Amino acid sequence: MVREHYIPIRVADLVGYLCNESGPMHNQTLTPDEQTAFRNFARVVTLHVHAVYQTEIRQLKDTYAPFDPDADPTPLTSPIGEHRTKALDHLFGTFVHLMSRANYRRLTRDEMELIMQGASDWGVDMDVAWDAFDKVEVFYRGKGAGKRVLRSWRWFWRKRETDVPTFSRVVVMFKQREHKRLGDDPNTKSVFLKLFKDIPQVDIEMLLPGGRIRMPKLERLKFGGSIGTSLAYLGWKLSSFPLLSLLGGFATGTLLLLWTPLALIAGYGYNTWYSFQSSRQTYTLQLTQSLYYQNLDNNGGVLFRLLDEAEEQEIREALLAYFFLWRYGGERGWTAAELDFYIELDLKKRVPAEVNFEIIDALNKLMRVGIVEKIDDRYRALPIDAAQEKLDTAWERYVRANESELAAEVAAIGKDKE
């Protein structure tokens, strides 16, 4: 199983089990007073992180507004010329960084083309028109295996279940350019964002517009073979007739003997071609129906959802790192490796995933606020009352901060992921 940075547990559930269950040394549950103190601490951490992310939401909304195809209301002014190009580059750069913070992985074009080779048993093989995009980015989070029901001709068309490698979440961001694959009037001014769930890895090309369904190899072989056979047969027959006989044959109709088998072969080729066209229409309908249920969000909604995921992830990491140092690290504290080991061991018992906890990221957050201190190579948490006071001070500082200070706070959180 692939180890992901993403922690698949809700913040409310995380706080609940940290308050009520034993730690790595066992028999170390919190007293009722300690539970109350930690719940208050978790609430303030959540509010603080949320307030910082609200600033980032406003910044991203302003950055995306000139390119949002669903903007309502639309901006009064939009950048043009060189300013629009710079704004577009800034939008894509900001989004790539956001995806990293939300623990998504970026797919390069080479990786995409390697994954897209062939088609799944229920999917289609498509050709992607990469030159139909000015910019395109694809990200995924979570690799797993889904179940699909198929009908197999080997088993008399009976239904059977099969395991399918999937991406749990896939995000696509692209800006189109004029291209014959996109129709007569494509939207080349907007930037489109799409979020999908449970996408078969080999069929990830289905998510990009302008794709063209390839004729299966067997169908191409049958179609090409029928054409080749027809031409070969015609050439062989014509070569066996003298020129005068051919001219006379056209006049008397004796060449009907030649055209009859030729028409049969040509008819077989047409039937093969028509069968593929019908299959393509069926595949297109299946694709539309499938993506209807697998689409989670679009355009501006994707930004809000991803920022919410990144915010929740920041809170989980901060709470886990502080809690384990506070409860189990003691006066001497733990090294980063020790803390990482115990948190991952605990998560392994509770969630159905192998989590690769980003310990340095979490510790940097806590040290920046001042509730964890580093002595040599060991980290030690402040007592929870002192940590609460530090958070209260940080909150007051945030409330009084101006726009540039808030931007600096957002940038500092982003650098923790680098």
- Give the pLDDT confidence of 220-241 residue by residue, as tens digits: 555 455 555 555 655 555 555 5
Look-up of token digits 């609940």: 16
Rounded Cα distance, 2 and 356, in Å: 9
* Core vs surface per residue 76-110: b (16+ CB within 10 A) or e: eeeeeeeeeeebbeebbebbeebbbbbbbbebeee
- The pLDDT score that the predictor gives to residue 223 is 46
In percent, how much of the chain has pLDDT > 90? Answer: 33
For residues 35-49, give the mean pLDDT.
Answer: 92
Burial of 217 (0-12, 13-18, 19+ CB in 10 A): exposed
- Give the pLDDT confidence of 305-347 residue by residue, as tens digits: 998 988 999 999 999 999 999 998 888 999 999 999 989 888 8
In percent, how much of the chain has pLDDT > 70? Answer: 69
For residues 343-357, give the mean pLDDT.
Answer: 82
Q: What is the CB-side half-sphere exposure of residue 363 using CA atoms within 13 A?
A: 23
- Give the pLDDT confidence of 252-296 residue by residue, as tens digits: 444 455 555 556 556 655 555 555 556 556 555 556 666 778 899
Amino acid at 323: F
- The pLDDT score that the predictor gives to residue 235 is 57
Rounded Cα distance, 348 and 345, in Å: 5
Sign for the pseudo-dihedral over CA of 242, 248, 254, 257: positive
Amino acid at 149: V
Rounded Cα distance, 95 and 101, in Å: 10
